[in-house]
Structure 1
Amino acid sequence: MAAMVLSTQGAALFLPRDIDPNLCTRLSYAFAGKNNHQLRSLEWNDKILYQVFNSLKKMDSCSPLLTLSVPTPSSLPGNPASWSGDRGQFSHISCLFRNLKLKTLLAIGGWNFGTQKFIEIVVANHRQIVDSAVKFLHTYGFDSLDLDWEHPGSQGSPAVDEERLTALVQGFAKAFQQEASTGMERLLLSTAVPGRQGYVDTDYEADKITHLDFINLMAYDFHGSWERVSPLFKRGESNAATKFNVDAAVQLWLQKGTPANTLILGMSTCGRSFTLASLSDTGVEAPARPCVPGPFTEEGGTAYYEVCSWKREHRIGDQKVPYISQDNQWVGFDAVESFKAKVSYLKQKELGALVWALDLDDVVGSFRTGPIPLIQALWRELSLPVPSGSPEPGVLAPSHPFEPKRSPSLGKDSFCQGKSNGLYPTPQNLSSYYGCAGGQQFQQSCPPGMVFSASCECCTWK
């Protein structure tokens, strides 16, 4: 699953037309809002982009996507399409990839949504917001609703909101099930949850929100904008910080009864940035103050494409994550290798994977690693067989490991005999590749329109 936030402008503009939906099973559009207990769009062009976004699961050729009359703004961010001045016509002709099995989600909430609006929702009659959401999802072609309340029972929300959130989840689930009983496909329901135990213990009735199809674990930013990295494991701390890592967050939700097959591990394509107090001290706990905003994100959350060209990358070995510095700027982030480590972990735990967010990856491949290198790494690693044993602390081997289809085309694993574990181009077929693991051979295919590149071990555009 991957999410996208439509807010970036200029050279970093990323729109639904730029998505390859074959790299995901679900795509989330963030965010929607609400007004008077009615679900509503937030941005002036959201309703246009909803149509393009949901066309990713039903378009099968190059065609005019839409020509709609909309208000013509005085200035446009970037160059998303052609505009015809006074007529206010928006026209867009594009060749979209498509994935007919794709499910699309609409997320409501987020940090900027605030607490008060969710309080208004849970204290009112749920029927209004539930009926509004069902109608809204069907009108614009979404398959699922994602509730992103950060966080009930805190941030100015009373403790009773923990129970109110449970009731809201139950209200949505009941309505979705009732509609499905009429023969319609059931709408899906999910929520975003934190990884920090202080929030989980006081803000969520984890054993009662079992009506959710998925629980999206935000296993990043364990504190907030001051958090340095999103470590996979602890560093050996002997204080509360031992629980501020991916493994501890996953174990917490599993121990509270969350089924592994509904827990989705969130990974981020953005990092946290800081300004170092001294150029002579650039380590993990170096004194620092707020960062210089990124050139495109313009905030403390720095996109991967803003730092992937920097040179001074370091790895925190026991936590399986990197950090990087340039001049007096310090960024804790995830890179390809830390994504690989986290994917190996989640596969052994039999969890799902979520990326926040698509548009923060290096979407154009500016730095010779191929386009969307983090998403590609995630997709590629999920395609490989589950490693045997438990090489990392806290990792349990699954009872039913995922295993891609073995390729019979070259006889009994003849291609991978004598080769190191890894990915290799297939002879005479640029759009597929072999994964070799322990001498065994697994054939995989790139998404339509892409070819395998041995230089980056990734699928790239033709």
Structure 2
Amino acid sequence: MRVPPHPDPTSARRPGDRSQIPPPVSPAPLQRPGGKDTAMGSLGRKSSGDMTGRFLHVFILAGLLAAAVGGEASPGGAGVLGEVGDQDDRVMVCYFGSWAVYRPGAGRFDVEDIDTDICTHLIYGFAGLKADTHEIVSLDPYNDLDVNYGKGAFKRFTGLKKLNPDLKTLLAIGGWNEGSSKYSQMAATEDSRAKFITSCVLFLQKFGFDGLDLDWEYPTLRGGKPEDKLNFALLLDEMRSRFDKQGLMLTAAVSAGEATIDAAYNVSALVRNLDFVHLMAYDLHGTWEQYAHHHSPLYAYAGDKGGNLKLNVDYAVQYWLKLGVPETKLVLGIGLYGRCFTLARADQHDVYSPSYQPGLPGPYTRSPGMQGFNEICESEGREAWTVVRDTHMVSPFAYRERQWCGYDDVQSVETKASYIVSLGLAGAMVWSIETDDFHGNCHAGPFPLITTIRTVLRDGKPIPTPTPPPTPTPTPEPETTTDTTTTTTPSPPPPSTVCHREGFNTDPKDCTAFYSCHQVGDHWQVYHFQCAPGTVFVEDLQTCDFAQDHQDLCVNNSYSYHHQNPNSIDYDYEVDQNRLNKVPKAKKTDFLEKMKRFEKKLKEISEAAFLDTTQASVKTRTVEIPAKDDASKRSQHRQAKKLRMMKKKSNKNGPEGLY
């Protein structure tokens, strides 16, 4: 059995964190969200008028557009879009960051904690892409799959439809932490695209998903190629053809940054192939900047100028509509989290106040610079925070001493939902359900943000929204784009021996950890991950494996009982199952007992001690690529490893071991 490493891509989806941690204009990242843009432009305005007439107008327009592009209605997706005038058909899309199951205390959130009545569509984040075969894979096999004593979250997730037969469940692939280069390679040829599509169809059918949500962040960027824009369009055309035959939905999470949009997307291909376009209208500002600003303002702040005039929800929505995405397919994303800053001075706490450090992490998500709404509202209940609500931004920010967080609350999401109704958009998307106040600790009931959004969408009665501020003539500024991640924190450059190849590399100082190295231009982007409990990283296998089967790799062969959060590496669960069946029963029992003792130990640890052992488990750094190491030394090192493994296998008696 290969056990995944457990970093926490929390925070916001880089769907920016879907990556969750997501990031600039995109969210996990995915996510889970995207890149910042500073080009010039004008703010769009929503139209007004009788709502009944507008909905009828949208209905007719949608039909004409569908006929014009030749798109076919796919089950559960485009077939609903033509009737967006009926408020019951507005979608409420909820992303689920599956790594929330590893969060401590009251922040822990599993599949069974999902309320199946408040969302119309649930999206599981995330699956990944196997680089060498171009196939979709699980990123956390222990949690996702039900083989090798796994928890089977995939099937439990799709099984939620038993509680609500109208519910649609989709699987998201990608996110910020997955990068772009693997997807660029997959989309480059017709053959590799066909392999990917076939694997997706089989994977979705195997686990009972209704469709796939593409979260490639982003075509042509972050290690991608200029050809990605065309290749992504071809991929969508080919996926739509196959998915229609199987009755599967196809959606995508897209950036809110103008420069990213222009570089990455063939909009007509998105329109004719996607059931919904999920606009990640959050992470527009963050700790990659040297000042505090709200990451998801509805309209521009009065003090915005230059490129920042484009970094707001309304501008992103109007830009996508201008490019030709019909209202009936555009789903507005709302972040259920805040971006937090540590201010340079406690007496300067307005927007644009200097800040050179991320805000303190919350007790559940534990990501500097980001806190879930559940963490923010609980903190406001315990401590004296000053809450400020700007007329134009709509969404509030709060400060206490040198801590500053911009977020959405019940009042602001109500206004954003009303904005959706006023424009006749397809509905709302949230990243992510597990950072809402799902216990109802701060409100009269659980999930107050999602419930508020859904109520406004269902009632179809827009409340008054603020008039956007006048748009001053933008001051030209040099365009800059800064890559960041929602789930990681900066650290000093690693030694030149860390990255000797693209992909996963051994940590020479810790056999239970490894580096994930991605070449971006003339730099390495490096992430440091920890293997799951009781495992070590085996570079020849490119995965974490049982420590007891690789005793020669560690000087000290003790089990490392750390609790990490999920991430992914390539995993062949069918091969593992066959090999595990050959292992003596006593060996399996011993492993299961160790895991039970580990989980029991976790429950006994106090929250404070727990946080001390898990803080900052994932780090990223960007360093210049060093000169090539001596090729012969690297070759000798790899050969020595293989010889040790061959010798170990030849000395085994009885049934073959796991590896």
**Shift in CA distance, 317/393, structure 1 to aligned 2, threshold 3 Å:** closer
Q: What secondary structure is seen at the aligned counterpart in 1 of 2:388?
A: strand
Mean Cα displacement is larger for which, 230-239 or 356-365? 230-239
In structure 2, which of residues 262, 271, 290 is the aligned counterpart of residue 201 of structure 1? 262
**Residues 225 and 238 of structure 1: CA distance in aligned 2, closer, same or farther (over 3 Å):** closer
CA shift, 1:158, in A, is 1.7
Q: Which amino acid aligns with 1:46?
A: D
The answer for the alignment partner of 2:428 in structure 1 is: 353
> CA 1:145–1:225 in 2, change beyond 3 Å: closer, same or farther?
farther
> Given that residues 419 and 462 in structure 2 are in contact (C-alpha distance below 8 angstroms), is that contact kept between their aligned partners in structure 1?
no
String of CA shifts for 1:398-445, please: whole Å, max 9, x gaps: xxxxxxxxxxxxxxxxxxxxxxxxxxxxxxxxxxxxxxxxxxxxxxxx
Q: 1:295 to 1:252 in 2, by over 3 A?
A: same
Aligned to 1:10: 104
Question: What does residue range 339-350 of structure 1 map to in structure 2 within 5 Å?
Answer: 339-350=413-424
Structure 2: distance between partners of 1:272 and 1:117: 29
- Answering whether residue 211 of structure 2 is matched by residue 110 of structure 1, we say no
Match of 1:459 in 2: none
Alignment of 1:46-445 (within 5 A): 46-47=144-145, 48-58=152-162, 98-124=163-189, 125=191, 126-177=193-244, 179-180=245-246, 186-209=247-270, 210-223=272-285, 225-226=287-288, 228-236=294-302, 237-289=304-356, 290-299=358-367, 300-309=369-378, 310=380, 311-351=385-425, 352-387=427-462, 392-393=467-468
- Report what 1:440 is aligned to: none
Contact 2:418 2:456 in 1 (8 A): yes
What pairs with 1:37-48 in structure 2 (closer than 5 Å)? 37-43=134-140, 44-47=142-145, 48=152
Aligned equivalents of 1:389 and 1:277: distance in 2? 37
User: Match of 1:104, SS?
Assistant: strand
Query: One-letter code of the match for 2:228?
Result: D
Please state how far the C-alpha of 1:388 moved relative to its aligned partner: 7.9
Cα offset, 1:306, TM superposition: 1.0
Q: Between the two proteins, what is the percent identity of the paired residues?
A: 37
Asked if the contact 1:2/1:27 (under 8 Å) is kept, the reply is yes
Aligned AA for 1:250?
Answer: V
Query: What is the deviation of 1:238?
Result: 3.8
Change (3 A) 1:225 1:160: farther
SS of the residue 1:367 aligns to = coil
Whole-angstrom distance in 1 between the partners of 2:285 and 2:376:
22
- On the 8 A contact 1:271/1:334 being kept in 2, the answer is yes
| Equivalent-residue separation in structure 2 for 1:279 and 1:5 (angstroms) | 34
SS in 2 for 1:308: helix
Q: Which residue of 2 aligns with 1:92?
A: none
After superposition, the C-alpha distances for 1:220-259 in whole angstroms (9 at most, x for unaligned) are 0125544633011112434221111111000011111101
- Cα RMSD of the aligned pairs, angstroms, is 1.7
Return the alpha-carbon distance in structure 2 between the equivalents of residues 189 and 354 of structure 1. 15
SS in 1 for 2:117: helix
State whether residues 229 and 323 of structure 1, in contact with CA within 8 Å, keep that contact through their aligned partners in structure 2. Answer: no
Given that residues 276 and 331 in structure 2 are in contact (C-alpha distance below 8 angstroms), is that contact kept between their aligned partners in structure 1? yes
Aligned-residue offset at 1:166: 0.7
How many angstroms apart in 1 are the aligned matches of 2:250 and 2:287? Answer: 28
How many residue pairs match? The answer is 349
Q: Which has the larger radius of gyration?
A: 2
Structure 1's unaligned 5+ residue stretches are: 59-97, 181-185, 395-462
1:24 aligned to 2:92?
Answer: no
From the superposition, tell whether residues 34 and 385 of structure 1 become closer, same or farther in structure 2 (CA, over 3 Å). Answer: closer
CA gap of 1:368–1:214, structure 2 versus 1, over 3 A, is: closer
Mapped to 1, the partners of 2:460 and 2:323 lie a distance apart of: 28
Separation in 2 of the partners of 1:168 and 1:321?
A: 37
Q: Output the TM-score relative to the length of structure 2.
A: 0.51
Contact 1:225–1:301 (8 Å) recurs in 2: no
> Offset of 1:208 from its aligned partner?
2.5
Instruction: Mark the CA change 1:21 to 1:225 in structure 2 (over 3 Å): closer, same or farther.
Output: farther
1 CA distance for matches of 2:421 and 2:351? 28
d(CA) in 1 for partners of 2:137, 2:465: 46
Structure showing greater relative contact order (alpha-carbon pairs closer than 8 Å, 6 or more residues apart): 2
State the TM-score, normalized to the length of structure 1: 0.73
Q: Which amino acid aligns with 1:307?
A: I
**Relative to 1, partners in 2 of residues 1:225 and 1:194: Cα closer, same or farther, differing over 3 Å?**
farther
Q: Could you give the per-residue CA deviations for residues 317-361 of structure 1, whole angstroms, max 9, x where no partner exists? A: 111110012232111111111101100001111111000000011
Deviation at 1:106, TM superposition (A): 0.2
Q: Deviations over 1:253-286 (max 9, x none)?
A: 1111101111110001011111111111111111
Higher strand share: 1
Counterpart amino acid of 1:41?
A: S
- Report if the CA contact (8 A) 2:129-2:183 is conserved: no
Q: Aligned pair in 2 of structure 1 residues 314, 102: CA closer, same or farther (>3 Å)? A: same
Shift of 1:115: 1.2
Q: Using the alignment, how far apart are the partners of 1:256 and 1:335 within structure 2?
A: 30
Q: Distance in 2 between matches of 1:108 and 1:145?
A: 7
